[in-house]
Structure 1
């Protein structure tokens, strides 16, 4: 670490009593999922639509699956949110004494979609003439109102969870760059905490040859056949499912891959069907041009498949976050997504 008044300004700590995250250089993350669930319920339940044809009211947030996080990196806020939402509604047609019920579904509320791009559908449980008329009314009236409510959620998320993420700099004020960024485009989605997401240390230069490196070796047992686990890493749809982000894969020697909109990239070096994958692999936060070598070995085990991971040339500054990332965002996510943690039948 540099002495006070010397060296890299990112590491000058005398301006903050606690000496933490000076100038907002390090990656910090705040979980906004619980707040989001509550806020979406408040915004979407209790909406009323009263006209001469019918009186309708939303009654329940029946589905709210997903997550939301706010990240601060180099005094720049990055918002990640992804929700699959469903709201129940009930109403009564003026010419009927029976209650009519249905739901409003929003499967793609995420940082990759503006409010106008959301897929919002209105469904109705019955098929009577009155029900059809009420559903058509809801399509005209409810969809625009729900879009506005969801736009409010996004705005409030950025205001509520962005205000405390940027710490004062060593000059006593927030960094000029500390403004909430717009929702990332599909080409550059919000960077969840994934393997290697920690920034390179101040002692590492941008030259790949000068990076201090270490090795990661991990094992994970999946209750699935080796070929099923192998396919998770080479099939685009499966990869996008467990990473919950966009991916491009060319699973042939020399073929390129990008995960999470380019936050992870590299190329395939060797593939032995259902047995072995070797990749040149890097995070886009690593020094320019620096790649690690990932070797994945798939072998049969009494419970299904034993996956052995070896990753060489990992920047030492990213070693612990890389280990954690493989377990949390690869191994555990694969088990949860595909049920590979359940007993084989």
Structure 2
């Protein structure tokens, strides 16, 4: 049976992608969407496809770990994260209370910065973190929100368990 020109829809779920897990430890689940017909492609994806996904994600995590980072943690200090994908400058630092910064993603228009405020509220047994981000370029709002959620807040949750 030839599958040329035929498209199938499915999902690849990686539930434990983390810098703490080796690529061989990744839990990868491949499935066809419920409305899709059975195909030999599914078995191929579950074997060779999963190995390729592991390889690519392993390389991605290695690049994140080895990406140059620089943080000058003083008011007016500059920072660069994820091998230059994120950069900016601290505009206000109030210990244990607030961090204000000019923040940008590399793919944004040149010299375009958003204003980001992180406010910390000590509540005894826990700390509430509030984020305000203004000035994101039009059309970049959803991807910026997803980036903060995925790379910052989920990472905090995974690291500290809440």
TM range (shorter): 0.5 to 0.7
Query: What residue ranges of structure 1 are gaps of 5+ in the alignment?
Result: 1-29, 39-66, 71-78, 83-109, 112-188, 190-239
Q: How many Å separate the matches in 2 of 1:256 and 1:314?
A: 19
Question: Who is 2:139 aligned against?
Answer: 317
Matching of residue 305 in structure 1 with residue 144 in structure 2: no
Shift of 1:257: 0.2
Deviation at 1:266, TM superposition (A): 0.5
Q: Give the superposition deviation at 1:302.
A: 6.2
Cα displacement string for residues 237-270 of structure 1 (whole angstroms, at most 9, x for unaligned residues): xxx7xxx854211111111000011110010000
CA 1:304 to 1:293, structure 2 compared with 1: closer, same or farther past 3 Å? same
Bigger Rg, structure 1 or 2? 1
Contact 1:31 1:68 in 2 (8 A): no
Distance 1:326 1:291 in 2: 15
Matching residue within 116, 122, 126 for 1:294: 116
Indicate which of 87, 102, 105 corresponds to 1:283: 105
Which residue among 84, 90, 93 is the counterpart of 1:271? Answer: 93
Gaps of at least 5 residues in structure 2 are: 1-11, 18-22, 26-53
Runs of 4+ in structure 1 deviating by more than 6 angstroms, as ranges, are 30-33
Query: Shift of the alpha carbon at 1:336?
Result: 1.6
Quote the residue 2:82 is aligned against: 260
In the alignment, the residues of structure 2 paired with residue 290 and residue 68 of structure 1 have an alpha-carbon distance, to the nearest angstrom, of 35
2:24 alignment counterpart: 37
Structure ranking higher on relative contact order (CA contacts 8 Å, 6+ apart): 1
1:247 aligns with 2:69: yes
Name the CA distance, whole Å, in 1 between partners of 2:55 and 2:69. Answer: 20
Q: Deviations over 1:1-26 (max 9, x none)?
A: xxxxxxxxxxxxxxxxxxxxxxxxxx
Compute the displacement of 1:289 (Å): 0.8
TM-score normalised over the length of structure 2: 0.61
Distance 1:287 1:80 in 2: 28
**TM-score normalised according to structure 1 size:** 0.30
